[in-house]
Structure 1
Amino acid sequence: MLSLNFPKEVTIIEVGPRDGLQNEKQFVETEIKKAYIQKLAAAGIKEMELTSFVSPKWVPQMKDAGEIVRSAPEGVRGMVLAPNRKGIERVLETSCKSIAVFVGVSNTFNQKNINKSPRESLEELKPAIAELKAQNYFVRACISTAFYCPYEGKVQEEDTLALCREFVEAGVDELSVADTIGMAAPHESYSLFSRLKDELPDVLLAAHFHDTRKMALANIYAALEAGVDRFDSSAGGLGGCPFAPGATGNVATEDVVYMLDRMGIETSINLDRLVDAIDTIAPAVSREISTGYYSLSKQG
């Protein structure tokens, strides 16, 4: 019997087109990205990270961001990551109305990622968030290294909570709280997300797990118990942060959807069509896709 704490429905935020591809050394052709995104939408994905407006010098995979945004599918909340004021200004020049910003809880990670301390990043973003909300933009704050940092080790729960509170006070619509290097254990997932749900009830809350140590599904289960009903995932388990050593792929969308389906939790995502989307991107990426559900689907 399901726990009374489990939600009846869950929203999957697909991060494959952005977080899944950003670390690919070989450039994935723009037309392949477009086809991948369209097929993800056809599978029932309603919210998606499309791309990011970052320096192509540092993340060359995202150099076609403008074209990707222009071809975004209808009926999908397509979000664009913008790490700083310059990136936000580029988004404002497009038709996209949903922006994701990010700050790492860990000072060292944030410095290596965007050459600023978390405090400096936050102070730069606060007025930008206010301006975006005044123009009716949906603003998502991605909280990196919420559990562990590849440089500093364990991140204190209070530090993560404090950063989340400041973003909520700044006016963001959603927090995406990430286990960036996949070190969190289920009891840590439950503890942090329970407190976030209790202390920040008026903001959308998403959990973002990497599967580095094969604990992502267990952590999602624990977050479900804590009342979380929004999860980031990447079709094919693609992904990894170029500034976080050891951060392998995100949890695979198909494995999350399969688990939720078996638990009787509605996602409105068609697994066969999701596999079709993965088939589109698989030949263009550097590693073989071998996630559980996808591999079994190939065996007939």
Structure 2
Amino acid sequence: MTHPPARLPRSAVIREVGLRDGLQSIATILPTAQKIEWIRAAYQAGQREIEVGSFVPARLLPQLADTAELVAFAKTLPNLFTSVLVPNLRGAENAIAAKADLMIVPLSASHAHSLANLRKTPDDVVAEVAKIRAARDASGARILIEGGVGTAFGCTLQGHVDKSEVLRLMQALLDAGADRVSIADTVGYADPGMVRDLFEDAVKIAGDRFWCGHFHDTRGLGLANVYAALEAGVNRFDACLAGIGGCPHAPGASGNVSTEDLAYMLGSMGIETGIDIDRLLALRTRVAEWLAGETLHGSLWQAGLPKTFGLPAQALSA
């Protein structure tokens, strides 16, 4: 196994978000039993952080109507860190009742996207996080709150988003009571230079409370952007099996970073993820069968692992 360059983390975590960000963006409604199989197989492949769904009204996203049941199953798997997305206080109350480990509250740095997606301004969302924090503390629950700043590099509805606004909102989320913050390139506008510049400043502000980078591969730069984030000291990333996903209110934003491609890139560089890629690819094959007719992405599933993958560094340099 090769060793990562000194400037890069020695380990990284891939949070699987296909069951939420992926499934909410496609027409197929996957049966609960198959979702449970997905969670079980991802766990057996070594994944220890999975976003299993979102507590939103079923009439809006019927694809995610079984989130509480999925949280209940995920909680039976030892050391699986289970997260859900919540858009408001009502969703947070459901997440608390379900005993999820973490709830993600999405905030769009783009005011236009925020209004289209949540019918709230970004600062309205910050105020909602303060209410969620108060409800969480009053309940005595240990669930963590993550404020996710989306459209951080631009938006198909608004266009340019100021870096200073992204950082202001990130700090506001922390001040409102978020335990963690993350940054997302919701519509795939970022390039590695932009990521390094923003993430370095974000880490200076949030320190170890900066939790995750979320990239879309809309323009083919998803993995390059992950590398730039690694250079900035970030080592936790969202990804979707088979690269499914996107944003229903951001036209053209299809295609999250593929979990299997990201796991391969990190593993090839000697960055430990704990993921068995062969098992992950086997799961991808099953998910592709379940989602027949949907557009899937990724490269590793077509080419397979190279024969040199996992060899000691001295063997590669001989």
1:205 aligns with 2:201: no
Query: Which of 88, 92, 96 does residue 92 from structure 1 map onto?
Result: 96
Give the partner amino acid of 2:231.
E
SS in 2 for 1:100: strand
Q: Partners in 1 of 2:234 and 2:186 — Cα distance?
A: 18
Counterpart of 1:16 (choices 11, 15, 18) is 18
RMSD of aligned C-alpha atoms?
1.9
Match of 2:60 among 58, 61, 72: 58
For each residue in 1:234-283, what CA deviation from the matched residue of structure 2 results, as whole angstroms up to 9, or x when unmatched?
11111111111111111001111111111111111110111122122112
Aligned to 2:300: 293
Is the 8 Å Cα contact of residues 96 and 143 (structure 2) preserved in structure 1?
A: no
CA displacement 1:2-60 (0-9 Å, x = unmatched)? 54320011111111111111112121111111111111111111111110011222212
Aligned to 1:247: 253
The secondary structure found in structure 2 opposite 1:200 is helix
Cα distance in structure 2, aligned partners of 1:106 and 1:114: 12
2:116 corresponds in structure 1 to: 112
CA separation in 2, counterparts of 1:70 and 1:145?
Answer: 31
- Per the alignment, residue 229 of structure 1 pairs with 235
Cα deviation for residue 299 of structure 1 reads: 12
Structure index of larger Rg: 2
TM-score by length of 1: 0.95
Q: How far apart, CA to CA, are the structure 2 residues paired with 1:115 and 1:234?
A: 26
The CA distance in 1 between the partners of 2:123 and 2:227, in whole Å, is 32
Aligned residues: 300
1:157 paired with 2:163, answer yes
- 1:171 Cα deviation after fit: 2.9
- The CA distance in 1 between the partners of 2:128 and 2:99, in whole Å, is 23
Name the CA distance, whole Å, in 2 between partners of 1:250 and 1:202: 24
**Equivalent position of 1:28 in the other structure:** 30
User: How far apart are residue 81 of structure 1 and its match?
Assistant: 0.8
1:18–1:182 Cα change, 3 Å:
same
C-alpha distance in structure 2 between counterparts of 1:271 and 1:3, whole Å:
22
CA distance in 1, matches of 2:43, 2:60: 28
Secondary structure of 1:182's match? coil
Q: Are the counterparts in 1 of residues 152 and 185 from structure 2 also a CA contact under 8 Å? A: yes
- Write out per-residue CA displacement over residues 127-183 of structure 1, whole angstroms, 9 at most, x where no aligned residue: 212432553221111111011111111211111001111112223232221000111
What's the CA shift for 1:92?
Answer: 2.3
Sort the Cα spacing of 1:188 and 1:123 in 2 relative to 1 into closer, same or farther, 3 A.
Answer: same
Does residue 193 (structure 1) correspond to residue 199 (structure 2)? The answer is yes
Aligned partners of 2:129 and 2:178 also within 8 Å = no
Contact 1:20 1:240 in 2 (8 A): yes
Q: Out of 81, 85, 109, which is 2:85 matched to?
A: 81
How far residue 190 of structure 1 moved from its aligned partner, in angstroms, is 0.3
**What is the TM-score when the length of structure 2 is the normalising length?**
0.89
1:101 CA displacement: 1.0
CA distance, structure 2, for counterparts of residue 299 and residue 230 of structure 1: 25
1:38 equivalent in alignment to 2:40: yes
SS at match of 1:150: coil
Instruction: Provide the residue aligned with 2:225 in structure 1.
Output: 219
Aligned sequence identity (%): 36
Aligned-partner SS, 1:101: strand
Say which is worse superposed, 208-217 or 135-144, in terms of deviation.
Answer: 135-144
Q: Provide the rounded CA distance (Å) in 1 between the counterparts of 2:248 and 2:184.
A: 15
Distance, in Å, in 2 between the alignment partners of 1:81 and 1:159 is: 23
SS at match of 2:29: coil
184-193 or 124-133, which deviates more: 124-133
Match of 1:173 in 2: 179
Quote the Cα distance in structure 1 between the aligned partners of 2:19 and 2:115. Answer: 25
Which ranges of structure 2 fall in alignment gaps of 5 or more residues?
308-318
- 1:109 alignment partner AA: H
Equivalent-residue separation in structure 1 for 2:210 and 2:134 (angstroms): 17
Gaps of 5+ in 1: none
Deviation at 1:297, TM superposition (A): 3.1
Q: Give the counterpart letter for 2:299 in structure 1.
A: G
